[in-house]
Structure 1
Amino acid sequence: MAETTSHLPGGSVTAPSSRSATGAIVILLLAFAPQLVELLTSLVGLIVPLSGRHPLQVLSGHGPALIVALPSLFQQYAAGGKTALSSDILLALIYTYPLIAVALFTLLVRPRAPQDYYGGVVLMAIALFALWASSDLQGMHGFSFGAGTAPRMFGVLLLALGAAVAVIGIITDGAQLATYHWRGPLFVSLAILAFALSIRPLGLVVSGLASFLIAALGTHETRWGETLIVGICLTVGCALLFPYVLGLPMPLFPRFLVP
């Protein structure tokens, strides 16, 4: 018979229900991550000028949206889809509510392959976020693809794949959760966030190079001389590719340097 508890180095025993509760809490934090990140960003904006909403605007936007999201959806359905839902309400409906349901479901089940289950949940979270991020893009009109068609297709496929992996983690035996190293994902995520926040005020040259160097902090094997050379080459390549070759209206230099 398979053991139903795991023994920790100190001799303590962690019950499966305790592990499920911890996993549910982590998923619940993931469900509110976009709102929390925007709130933290708005607080940073009080010190460093950033484009975005004031902290009070963030709270007054996301707080009521989490409460009135479902009634607003019913109202839209009753009106025949003629009323538009705000981005905050769509975030709650498309991303937050489904992950809250997954967190509650996690409390009720005991994954036989926790690594597969929680990996599938993360894939589902990425897919749901992509579906929300592309919700304001134009969809298909007849046989004509819109800007949001491909992101939504990939989002739906990733959502189905993540759900399948999570189900496999419930019904089949598999690997337990392994030791997770946060340094790499942390600095890569910070690099993406830094680029998104600094591209408009600082331009592609500064934000691109800074983001590359932040991502390089994700490993202790980084050689800074070589990294700086590669970062400069990539930044120059992007500065030529996006504005000139692809014709995208991206600022190259900080606003205070542009006359």
Structure 2
Amino acid sequence: MAETTSHLPDGAAAAPGLRSATGALIILLLAFAPQIVELLMSLAGLVIPLSGRNPLQVLSGHGSALIFALPSLVEQYAAGSKASLSSDVLLTLIYTYPLLAVALFTLLVRPRAPQDYYGGVVLMAIALFALWASSDLQGMHGFSFGAGTAPRMFGLLLLALGAAIATIGVVTDGAQLATYHWRGPLFVALAVLAFALSIRPLGLIVSGLASFLIAALGTHETRWGETLIVGICLTVGCALLFPYVLGLPMPLFPHFLVP
């Protein structure tokens, strides 16, 4: 996969880079990105019929979650019960609050290697979002893997990796921010979205291979013969791993081919 960044010109590289206040503001916006996206979708629903909450429900739900998330968590632990928290509260606790803390830290401490620091923060944001998205999935039961086990495990590993990279960006000198190329991240994101939308109707084999080929479009260096062979091998491996080794209920073939 081709690199997604390139070095800035010498004059720009010598500049101090992204100021702490600007970086903190960007991380602040990232912390509220899911809420903003849902609000925009609810506004679009006023014009185009969409399932979901209206704008007032979105604002009230997330607003109350921001205020009462910690009290709700303390109350649950004090009661000794396992009453489930709402999705808005979980989003605030798992995703928004940690990134707000990172934004405050960014405002107070200027990274010595901004490229590493902000890259690590983005990895942390992806990991936190994955942990929230998998919070309602079934976890481990003894030695039996649940649907949420793998996402949480990889999310925690990615969170630790992102935190380590961000820490390196704070304590050691390194590269300043570089220009950004959109092709690689765009097609990888499209591949993830295509897999999420097609896994149920088309099954793991078709959706997995198609998603891999879409991600391969992210670079002009792709050799399609080799890519197709690797994609088939990975798809076969996933088809054996998830349904049979881990016992996850994932369809293998398109539903219209299964009697």
Answer yes or no: same fold by TM over 0.5. Answer: yes
Residue 236 of structure 2 aligns with an amino acid whose one-letter code is G
Residue 250 of structure 1 aligns with an amino acid whose one-letter code is P
Q: Compute the displacement of 1:170 (Å).
A: 2.0
Residue 253 of structure 1 aligns with an amino acid whose one-letter code is P
Name structure 2 gaps, 5 residues minimum. Answer: 1-9
**Distance across 1 between alignment mates of 2:160 and 2:219:** 32
**Does the aligned pair in 1 maintain the 2:209–2:232 contact within 8 Å?**
no
Alignment of 1:171 with 2:174, yes or no, is no
Alignment of 1:182 with 2:190, yes or no, is no
Q: Compute the displacement of 1:174 (Å).
A: 1.9
Residue 194 of structure 2 aligns with an amino acid whose one-letter code is A
Alignment of 1:68 with 2:68, yes or no, is yes
Q: 1:252 matched to which residue of 2?
A: 253
Is 36-45 or 194-203 further displaced after alignment? 36-45
1:56 to 54, 57, 78: 54
Deviations 1:106-134 (A, max 9, x none): 12221111122113222322332343344
Q: How does 1:1-259 map to 2 (within 5 A)?
A: 7-8=11-12, 19-36=19-36, 54=52, 56=54, 59=58, 62=62, 64-137=64-137, 147=146, 152=152, 155-156=155-156, 158-204=158-204, 206-222=206-222, 226=225, 229-230=228-229, 233=232, 237=236, 241=240, 245=244, 248-250=249-251, 252-253=253-254
Name structure 1 gaps, 5 residues minimum. Answer: 1-5
Residue 195 of structure 1 aligns with an amino acid whose one-letter code is F
Aligned CA distance change for structure 1 residues 110 and 233 (closer, same or farther; 3 Å): closer
Q: How many residues align?
A: 245
Residue 54 of structure 1 aligns with an amino acid whose one-letter code is G
Aligned CA distance change for structure 1 residues 164 and 66 (closer, same or farther; 3 Å): same
> With CA pairs under 8 Å and 6+ residues apart, which has the higher RCO, 1 or 2?
2
Q: 1:3 matched to which residue of 2?
A: none
Aligned CA distance change for structure 1 residues 211 and 156 (closer, same or farther; 3 Å): closer
Partner of 1:220, secondary structure, is coil
**Distance across 2 between alignment mates of 1:41 and 1:108:** 34
**Distance across 1 between alignment mates of 2:45 and 2:66:** 24
What TM-score results when the alignment is normalised by the length of structure 1? Answer: 0.69
**Distance across 1 between alignment mates of 2:84 and 2:199:** 29
**Does the aligned pair in 2 maintain the 1:28–1:99 contact within 8 Å?**
yes
Aligned CA distance change for structure 1 residues 249 and 187 (closer, same or farther; 3 Å): closer
**Distance across 1 between alignment mates of 2:90 and 2:237:** 33
**Does the aligned pair in 2 maintain the 1:90–1:132 contact within 8 Å?**
yes
Deviations 1:188-221 (A, max 9, x none): 0121022112222444455334423422321233
**Does the aligned pair in 2 maintain the 1:62–1:88 contact within 8 Å?**
yes
Deviations 1:132-178 (A, max 9, x none): 3443455677x867646676566445434433432332233222122
| RMSD across aligned positions (CA) | 4.4
**Distance across 2 between alignment mates of 1:185 and 1:59:** 29
Residue 111 of structure 2 aligns with an amino acid whose one-letter code is P
Residue 237 of structure 1 aligns with an amino acid whose one-letter code is V
Report percent identity of matched pairs.
69
What TM-score results when the alignment is normalised by the length of structure 2? Answer: 0.69
**Does the aligned pair in 1 maintain the 2:117–2:167 contact within 8 Å?**
yes
**Distance across 2 between alignment mates of 1:244 and 1:108:** 48
Q: 2:4 matched to which residue of 1?
A: none
Q: Compute the displacement of 1:101 (Å).
A: 1.7
**Distance across 2 between alignment mates of 1:152 and 1:245:** 20
**Does the aligned pair in 1 maintain the 2:216–2:227 contact within 8 Å?**
no
Aligned CA distance change for structure 1 residues 239 and 43 (closer, same or farther; 3 Å): farther
Aligned CA distance change for structure 1 residues 120 and 243 (closer, same or farther; 3 Å): closer
